[in-house]
Amino acid sequence: MTFAALGLHAPLTDTLAGLAYTTPTAVQQQAIPAILAGRDVMAAAQTGTGKTAAFALPLLQTLADAEAAPLGEKMVRAVILVPTRELAEQVMQSCQQYAADLALTCYAAYGGVNLGPQITRLKAGVDVLVATPGRLIDLFTKGAVRFPALRAVVLDEADRMLDLGFADDLGILFQALPRQRQTLLFSATFSDEIRALGKARLKQPLIIEATPRNTAAKSVKQWVVPVDKKRKTDLFLFMRRDRGWQQVLVFAKTKKGCDELVDRLTAKQIAADAIHGDRPQASRQKALDAFKVGEIEVLVATDVAARGLDIDTLPQVVNFDLPLQAEDYIHRIGRTGRAGARGEAISFVCADEAPLLAAIETLIKQKLSRDEEPGFEPKHAVPLTSGPSAKPLAKSASKPRPGAAGRPGPGAPKRSAPSNWVDEFDDARPARRGPGGNGPRSTAARGPKPAGKPRGR
Ligand code: AMP
């Protein structure tokens, strides 16, 4: 299967060849022809499946092929709505990359930065505007953006937008958008709320389920290390050194927790930085960029960073604390094992996190293997979880030791980690037409929603 066979043509296909995108992923194979044909699409595709290109490529081609009317003042031709600022930047960069040889303009507008420059930039109009919902409302109410020329709207990571409380903002925006438009909805999971949103806003969509519902990427090896809460930092320092982790993304529960861990790491001369909601957007982006190019070895983040980060070949994600919402586990570990590459997700779990672990195991329908680290066995035992009906993940002695792909880390291996490697792109299911799909998401598997206001504004 080639991109040309899906209906894409030069110069896009040449650009893709330059990016070494040789084969379309499962979601791309299903979504691209339908979007080119002008259909609405509702796709269940988690990050790492190539979902951005699945909507961006056909959208860009459609815009490039359309009658070249001059772009009117403040006009936008397509809007991509995303939940977070980081995702807005990333999606915009992907669009710019794909549109390198097309005469199209792409721009990202999100909160946390001044409105002024965004208003100025939008005056000339823009073909593809990537935006967080709150900021787009601000721009619209100030008259900085107009929608009469709008052809398409994409809701990216729609489930996350609803989780972050953007449902009302989306309602306001849809009132402002032309009725005659193409609407594309991408979501990691199909909950009742997502299906209701799709029913209200999409017209006879093609339903695509590129990944089984509520499953973690199978190219990610996952396991749990039981440990006492107060020893987590020492455990992290030990495992990092012992296993030769060179680029590791760490998730912590609180902003304070992120900063404390960074302080401890920096005190040990380890290049580390934090991204969380209290840090200004510019310094969050700076930390992320430094991490991507390897200037920072450890990036510690709250769940604000669980979506939208795409870092080539990120080998490890460590859950220093388990997430309060089980679904965030899937998004966190989706930072590794992307585009078919293999990755590891290691969760440090202390006794009082057992209920969170149980919720995650119920959601992903897997009982995660536990692998105590010698010298860090917890004094407060982590209660056993009853686990879902699925079998525990098998341990395998034949897999490579954790560390850089294919390379042994410093120190001889003491044992191999549990393994569940499967090629993620084999999971594609055939496309189905019309509404419907999986049953409702288990509310029991969802922890309490975090307090606070939406972050994407
Ligand atoms: P996404 O799921 O959109 O976050 O994409 C995950 C990663 O897969 C990104 O780094 C993309 O550049 C990459 N990617 C998307 N489609 C392809 C493809 N067909 N071949 C190779 N890499 C891809």
Nearest CA owner, ligand 1 atom 11: 50
Q: Measured in whole angstroms, how far is the alpha carbon of residue 39 from the centre of its chain?
A: 24
pLDDT grade, residue 313 (50/70/90)?
A: low
Residue 186 Cβ inside 6 Å of ligand 1? The answer reads no
> Which of ligand 1's atoms lies nearest the C-alpha of 52?
3
Give me the residues paired with residue 290 across strands. none
Q: Which helix (H) or strand (E) holds 265?
A: helix 255-267
Are 273 and 147 within one domain?
no
> Which of ligand 1's atoms lies nearest the C-alpha of 45?
2
> Which of ligand 1's atoms lies nearest the C-alpha of 49?
2
pLDDT tens, residue by residue, 281-302: 788 888 988 988 889 999 999 8
Residue from 1, 13, 21 to probe ligand 1 pocket by mutation (most atoms less than 8 Å from CB): 21
Give all strands of the β-sheet with 343-349 in edge-to-edge order. 220-226, 343-349, 316-319, 248-251, 298-301, 272-275
Examine residue 451 and state whether it is found in any structural domain, yes or no: no
Are 325 and 233 within one domain?
yes
Examine residue 450 and state whether it is found in any structural domain, yes or no: no
> Which of ligand 1's atoms lies nearest the C-alpha of 3?
19
More confident residue, 327 or 373: 373
Q: Say how many Å lie between the CA of residue 296 and the centre of ligand 1.
A: 23
Does the model's pTM come out above 0.85? Answer: no
> Which of ligand 1's atoms lies nearest the C-alpha of 312?
10
* CATH code, domain carrying 372: 3.40.50.300
Residue 15 Cβ inside 6 Å of ligand 1? The answer reads no
Are 185 and 320 within one domain?
no
Examine residue 453 and state whether it is found in any structural domain, yes or no: no
pLDDT grade, residue 269 (50/70/90)?
A: very high
Are 247 and 124 within one domain?
no
**Considering 209, 240, 256, which residue would you say is the last residue of a domain?**
209
Nearest CA owner, ligand 1 atom 5: 50
Strands 432-433 and 206-209: antiparallel
105 Cβ partners below 8 Å, 6+ apart? 71, 125, 126, 127, 128
Examine residue 166 and state whether it is found in any structural domain, yes or no: yes
Examine residue 191 and state whether it is found in any structural domain, yes or no: yes
pLDDT tens, residue by residue, 120-137: 999 999 999 999 999 999
Are 200 and 296 within one domain?
no
Residue 109: domain span: 4-209
**Considering 169, 189, 209, which residue would you say is the last residue of a domain?**
209
Examine residue 278 and state whether it is found in any structural domain, yes or no: yes
Are 205 and 296 within one domain?
no
Are 272 and 180 within one domain?
no
Residue 323 Cβ inside 6 Å of ligand 1? The answer reads no
Examine residue 257 and state whether it is found in any structural domain, yes or no: yes
Are 230 and 277 within one domain?
yes
Nearest CA owner, ligand 1 atom 21: 21
Give me the residues paired with residue 251 across strands. 301, 319
Ranked by mean pLDDT, the top range of 181-185, 283-287, 327-331, 419-423 is 181-185
Are 276 and 354 within one domain?
yes
Q: Say how many Å lie between the CA of residue 339 and the centre of ligand 1.
A: 5
Would you state the structure tokens that stand for residue 62, as one six-digit string?
Answer: 């459609």
Are 180 and 256 within one domain?
no
Are 224 and 120 within one domain?
no
Domain count for the chain: 2
| C-alpha closest to that of 179 among 154, 202, 198, 204 | 202
Are 297 and 339 within one domain?
yes
